[in-house]
Chain A
């Protein structure tokens, strides 16, 4: 149960992030979760959106360098120790997390976590078997 993450290459230039986000806003694409990894001269914006294929098209047409990656999104209880428990479970099953980021959902007691695994299928299965709710594309649209 993988979902699509969009990664955007951003050079370090004033207003660039704002331009990219405005583009999404104008096209009525909603960002569900995001993170930015950066160095002194460039960054990579990673995000989960409600309409990934529209967003990818939009970026391609506007000459923005973007790439789609499979990630797994899961809901964890928004309380102390919630994330720690999930990570321990993954570690116990030898599932390696390449990177992850989180978002607190508006209308629920849960936090949304986005994980990048080297083996997303296996990871999703481990999460589900341990009672966590893995979100699919439809679920992302509904958030």
Chain B
């Protein structure tokens, strides 16, 4: 395998060079932040009134954490550190669960972000020869436009189709011989389940790679998708508060996502105490964006749970790798007193070949007890018509789940396509328990 780089100097520079770059950029970030009333007050409380108060990277810990609610409190322009005239792009969360969170970028910020995406794309082995079908939503969501610009910068042939309309997506894949997809894993699973009805076999497509992101998923889902389409799937990580995709991306070795540490400072903390955790320990991801001037944001608590792998990567990149997101501090389910992450359930069921491409975790009350039902769609091609096999399958899934999460779930088998599916981010948990 040939290792390709977008900017070899930046991607392979030694740790001390990364850290001195981080310090310089952190000082500039603090200076920018002081231009907003909100950060000025907040930093003053921490005894910081100028960039000169930051003399080493350890001083990062003097900066207070910021959370999603801080962005909401400052809606719409409270965290804007430049004149609106300099802003060339606005992105925002949907705001379906409250006040939206909004971010701003200058032309320089856009260039910085786009370059990180070009770097991410090339790290997977893609080049200007590829045909890139971008199936993430365009618009205020950062996923679609972010990768779009990055792919153009690499020189790929970009098809900006956006999400939805499965039949048309498959037709476009055939017509333009698409080689690279950007898509949520749940939507790609759904597409596979529809191929038969479009009279299309996966082998007729030319997909070589897929960038999977925007929702958590398990390693077994990746393996399943790779096998179903005969391709390589790369994990991608980002969040709109940090610009969107391009914070971390897997290289061709697919063993964790390189966090572009010249552009972001990565910390893992104990979500309870806020204390920094050593590499290798699972905790909450905290990020500082060093390359955005329109809207500075430091020590942002993402609520995503992951750990860091500091080992050198075979690709030669010196930027540390972030594990797959293991869950979120706020998506943990408590079932009869036992903590369960949806990702644990997905990990188990996606390893079962007879399970198809969709599932739903359903929580209800049975008297005073919680009842956990895992509904899975079966994989049509492995259906033999034999009841005993189906019963055995149910029993097997139940046993495996019980071994993993220590709770005895009810397993329901469903027809492919019967469970609710999404053409964007999937909703895998339906919690219908009465809240106390």
Q: Does A13 contact B (CB under 8 A)?
A: yes
Q: How far is the CB of B166 from chain A (nearest CB, A)?
A: 12
Q: A11-B418, A41-B413 are in contact. Are A61 and B197 (CB under 8 A)?
A: yes
Residues of B within 8 A of A18 (CB): none
**Chain-B contact segment, one of A65-73, A76-84, A131-139:** A65-73
Count, chain B residues at interface, CB 8 A: 21
Q: Contact partner of A9 among B193, B199, B378, CB < 8 A?
A: B378
Q: Contact partner of A60 among B196, B412, B413, CB < 8 A?
A: B196
Interface size classification for chain A: 20 to 34
Residues of B within 8 A of A44 (CB): 385-387, 390
Whether A69 contacts B417 by the Cβ 8 Å rule is: no
Q: Does B380 contact A (CB under 8 A)?
A: yes
Q: Does B281 contact A (CB under 8 A)?
A: no
Residues of A within 8 A of B25 (CB): none
Q: How far is the CB of B359 from chain A (nearest CB, A)?
A: 13
Residues of B within 8 A of A85 (CB): none
Q: How far is the CB of B288 from chain A (nearest CB, A)?
A: 47
Whether B418 contacts A13 by the Cβ 8 Å rule is: yes
Q: Mark A71-105, 1 if CB is under 8 A from B, else 0.
A: 00000000000000000000000000000000000
Whether B390 contacts A42 by the Cβ 8 Å rule is: yes
Q: A39-B391, A42-B390, A44-B390 are in contact. Are A62 and B197 (CB under 8 A)?
A: yes
Q: Does B414 contact A (CB under 8 A)?
A: yes
Q: Mark B379-406, 1 if CB is under 8 A from A, else 0.
A: 0100111110011000000000000000
**A67 to B418 alpha-carbon distance, docked (Å):** 18
Whether B197 contacts A63 by the Cβ 8 Å rule is: yes
Q: A60-B197, A62-B197 are in contact. Are A67 and B385 (CB under 8 A)?
A: yes
Select from chain A the residue with minimum beta-carbon distance to B414: A11
Q: Mark B191-220, 1 if CB is under 8 A from A, else 0.
A: 001101101000000000000000000000
Whether A66 contacts B416 by the Cβ 8 Å rule is: no
Within 8 A of B (CB), among A4-49: 5, 7, 9-11, 13, 16, 37, 39, 41-42, 44, 46
Q: Contact partner of A67 among B384, B414, B416, CB < 8 A?
A: B384
Whether B391 contacts A65 by the Cβ 8 Å rule is: no
Q: Does A143 contact B (CB under 8 A)?
A: no
Whether A9 contacts B197 by the Cβ 8 Å rule is: no
Residue among A10, A42, A46, A65 with max Cβ neighbours from chain B (10 Å):
A65
Within 8 A of A (CB), among B408-428: 412-418
Q: How far is the CB of A69 from chain B (nearest CB, A)?
A: 5
Select from chain A the residue with minimum beta-carbon distance to B193: A63
Q: How far is the CB of B95 from chain A (nearest CB, A)?
A: 35
Whether A11 contacts B197 by the Cβ 8 Å rule is: no
Q: How far is the CB of B389 from chain A (nearest CB, A)?
A: 10
Whether A11 contacts B415 by the Cβ 8 Å rule is: yes
Residues of B within 8 A of A61 (CB): 196-197, 199
Partner-A contacts on B (CB < 8 A):
193-194, 196-197, 199, 378, 380, 383-387, 390-391, 412-418
In the A-B complex, list the 7 residue pairs whose CB atoms are closest, starting with the nearest: A7-B385, A65-B380, A67-B385, A11-B414, A41-B412, A37-B387, A11-B415
